[in-house]
Amino acid sequence: MIMQTIAAKIFTSLWRVLLAFGLLIVPKPALCHLMPENTGTVHVVGNSAFVVVSIPVSAFRGITTEADGALTAADLRLSNQTMQGQFDAHFQIRDASLGGQPVLTWILMPRGAQDAQLGSASTSYVVVMHRVNFSGEPRHLYLYTDFFAANRRDKMLTLKVSRGKEVQMLALTPGATHFKLLPGKLDLLATFIATGIDHILTGPDHLLFLLTILIGAAGWRYWLGAVSAFTVAHSVTLTLSALGYVHIPSRVIEPGIAASIVFMALDNLFRPNARRLNRIGLIFLCGLLHGLGFASSIADMGLDTTHRILSLLGFNTGIEIGQFLFLGSLAGLFFVIQRLIPPVGSTKLAPRLASAAACVLGLAMFIQRV
């Protein structure tokens, strides 16, 4: 056991020396820009995963003395071990059954290397070289990370993962803390279906909108037409936005979704006898806006860009399943209430009260989001 430990330390030291020698013989212009900010690669080879990733300095805590938050070469030399510890703690690659043991973390200046010895170089990000060993060949890899920049515009990290001919592109954001690496297609589909179900059932704005359109009129034909219009509309804009054909900032979309709740609730109150076809047309227009909100959410969760269509299919399917679970529960509740509670006064009173409540809640959401 002691001999194995000594051998491992010797191997790690030798690996560092060889890597350092390789960097020294690289021409200086190439060293200045090792890779773009907020990008990275993970290569899985045999029993190891090799990581090269650029991390904004603002993701680290307590390691810079510069007023603008940049990192000098002197700061890097003094804080290297602290930064290594932070990276190891917040950027972990594990296998579900084999675990994972980091054996190397090395942090470099990506630019200004010519002045590194003088301590005058500074950078807004660093390049981290990292290696993780497993006791066997990993087959169920997960990345656990909450290591993102403090600056909002630097939140997304683009990561390329490869093993032989398998390639996966991930757009990582703080919306999720763990990501499955190199999943099979069925696993990926199941993951995004579950994500879609969770998103719709935990989204009060979308559920409130569904409630508002459901109480707008009675009859299964209207309900089927309204839900179908909403489904088609949000599927169209979700797909177009996720594929990059349409982009509207979330600061516009989120208040717009709240406004759609207010709009449909007011329509219920002031046009209770409106033609159903006209109402379904309005629902379709609002559904286009909600689809953009779904697209923003899937981007925040970390999208597998290699299997983008499959990811979208799974997420949208999950949304529809969650939607029908909610509507089914709501219809069951209405049925029970009708059986247990005798009608009091006008049968239109309950929908009007519900629409008024939805209008108030939607208006509160709108003010909060604006």
| More confidently predicted of 200 and 195 | 200
Query: Which own/partner pairs from 187-193 qualify as long-range (CB within 8 Å, at least 24 positions apart)?
Result: 188/304, 188/307, 188/310, 188/311, 188/314, 189/310, 189/313, 189/314, 190/314, 191/314, 192/310, 192/311, 192/312, 192/313, 192/314, 192/315, 192/317, 192/318, 193/314, 193/315, 193/317, 193/318, 193/321
pLDDT for res 363: 93
pTM (2 d.p.): 0.60
Nearest to 253 by CA among 285, 304, 294, 301: 294
pLDDT in tens, 30-45: 333 446 778 899 999 9
pLDDT(20) > 80: no
What confidence category does residue 364 fall into, taking pLDDT thresholds of 50, 70 and 90?
very high
Percent of the chain with pLDDT over 70: 79
| More confidently predicted of 332 and 151 | 332
Write down the domain spans for the chain.
Answer: 27-182, 187-369
pLDDT for res 147: 81
pLDDT for res 51: 95
pLDDT for res 270: 86
pLDDT in tens, 141-172: 999 988 877 665 556 788 888 888 888 877 77
Highest-scoring range by mean pLDDT, 144-153, 172-181, 228-237: 228-237
pLDDT in tens, 129-148: 999 999 999 988 999 988 87
| Lowest mean pLDDT, pick from 137-141, 145-149, 280-284, 347-351 | 347-351
pLDDT in tens, 91-103: 999 998 888 899 9
pLDDT(177) > 90: no
Distance of alpha carbon 132 from alpha carbon 94, whole angstroms: 8
Residue whose structure tokens are 């509507």 = 327
